[in-house]
Homo-oligomer: A and B are copies of this chain.
Amino acid sequence: MDVLRVAACQVNTVVGDLDGNVERILAMLDGAEQAGCDVAVFPELAVPGYPPEDLLLKPGFVADNQQALDAVAKATRSCAAVVGFVDVGHDLYNAAAVCVEGEVVGTYHKRHLPNYSVFDEARYFQPGSGDPFLFDVLGVRVGVSICEDAWNPSGPIAQAASGGAGVVVNLNASPYHAGRLAERERMLATRALDAGAALVYVNQVGGQDELVFDGASLVIDGEGEVVARAPQFVEHLLVADVEVPVPFRKRLLDPRGRPPVEQLPAVVLRGRDGAAPRPALAGDLVASVLAPLEEIYQALVVGTRDYVVKNGFSDVVVGVSGGVDSSLVATIAVDAFGPERVHAVAMPSRYSSDASLADALQLGRSLGIDVQTISIEPAHDALIEMLAPVLARREPNLTEENLQSRVRGVVLMALSNELGWLVLSTGNKSEAAVGFSTLYGDTAGAFAVIKDVPKGLVYELCRARNRRAGRELISEAVLAKAPSAELRPDQRDDQSLPPYEVLDPLITAYVDEDRTRSELEAAGFDAALVEVVVGMVDRAEFKRRQTPPGVRISTKAFGKDRRVPITNRYPG
């Protein structure tokens, strides 16, 4: 057995930022060169950023991406770089270029193009075809594959191994969802073992609109054992020595006098957009995997931070009600931006309880953020007066409940306009599903942090964050009280909705698992409950179409993952 030194370059690119992405790629490549690597692998479409969506329909953008790739290639020295970009032939291809000593020496085209869930690759690309793509590094034959290619048991990885590859690299932009990592590692281990070849799996990291990428790049040996794993949700240069079985070796590897990976110095990575630089651990360390709730929490933090920062903003504002949803969002925001850049506003009405306002102010103290209080009463009063000729019934009804929520939306947006703070909205997935929200009211905002988090999971995340903090960051009072929108006297969510323990599983079955009414009943859900909830979910589609993006953590988030018609008479 001989040894090939590989780098998995887990970068955080920005879609469309060709110059910035090249700069980031080259900084990481420089680190790989310094670590004495033979091959450095970058994520899928690292040059244009992933997913570039309809930017790909601009021929000018694709041409610029090719120029950017050339800039990367020109800077390569003895370490081969395998870099994702968009190639143009008779059509467009999702491609990987192998660059070494200043030149592109080969190009691979992705064979399996996902066109389901959040993926639209058939909209843009032609699949590659032909013999397996292989290149030689110091006599070791290396195969190339891109993302979805790896999921096909007889696909490009198996084919490359049959063609003599001792190592197969796999470039990825694999969006996070809870449970994804274990599923992915099982598949990759099987693939490596079947192929009898080592795999270098490189995933991008960071947020892009509703998607967040978890990194967790891997090096797996030909026995299916994890040799190295990069940490989740941070940029990382993962360096590992891969043992290459002798049969695949054509000539002796050049040892180059490299120190062992364990003794490599840390590479300092520039922080994204002015954030502090961060040391990327080199070495063959197998990073441990985050606990399930911690992983989801980090996904929310990183997805939110990148949305705000990549769009050129620094500060955020959250309307805090004293309830659990806004408490969690404010806490996530503080973890993403630090307390100085998070601003909270409490907006009590005539129906707000003193306890709620106290809880909101307590949250501010606990998180170390400023909480302004702006009563919505003056505008609420004025609107009731203005609408008196229209509002026939004088008792508060749904119209008036919505008025309050919309005044709050107007106040938050005014703060945003005046002070340049992005508004984070606070609705959870259970509410989004059944439309338990006011359009242009509590749905108003630039980013809906927990829109893919069901209410039950909101509580779990709060409790997990408190445990990690070792104190009541979010007070037990907030976690213990019955959820209420406080839009009328003594309102509680469970007057309009089933309890969340009942509602959440039904939403999962109907939305995430695409069951029909009759299938839900057959699965044991109460028929009357199914009738009510399915109707609410379907009727709320028009609202969901006008709400902001938020971090996807499930396999079916409201967004480009679920494309149902608004005009839809199927009873469900």
Contact = CB atoms under 8 A, between A and B. Distances in A.
B417 A402 contact: yes
A410 B413 contact: no
A440 B516 CA distance: 34
Contact of A565 (B52, B375, B378, B399): B52
A16 interface: yes
B403 A414 contact: yes
B392 A374 contact: no
A337 to B, nearest CB: 17
A253 to B, nearest CB: 40
Interface in A406-444: 406-407, 409-411, 413-415, 417-419, 439-440, 444
A58 interface: yes
Contact of A518 (B18, B60, B391, B398): B60
Nearest to A412: B440
A570 B17 contact: yes
Given A60-B515, A413-B406, A568-B16, A399 B418 contact: yes
Nearest to A18: B570
Given A16-B569, A20-B569, A311-B566, 7 more contacts: A53-B565, A55-B565, A58-B514, A60-B515, A376-B386, A390-B414, A398-B417
Q: Please name the 9 residue pairs, one residue from A and one from B, whose CB atoms are nearest each other, closest first.
A: A16-B570, A60-B516, A17-B569, A378-B382, A399-B417, A440-B440, A382-B382, A122-B122, A379-B382
Interface stretch (A138-146, A476-484, A493-501, A541-549): A541-549
A567 interface: yes
B446 A440 contact: no
Contacts of A413: 402, 406, 439-440
A569 B14 contact: yes
Contacts of A527: none
A2 interface: no
Contacts of A58: 514-516
B402 A386 contact: no
A202 interface: no
Contacts of A560: 563
Contacts of A174: none
A351 interface: no
A418 B391 contact: yes
A80 to B, nearest CB: 28
B546 A548 contact: yes
B403 A54 contact: no
A408 to B, nearest CB: 11
Interface string A372-405: 1011101101110111011110000111001100
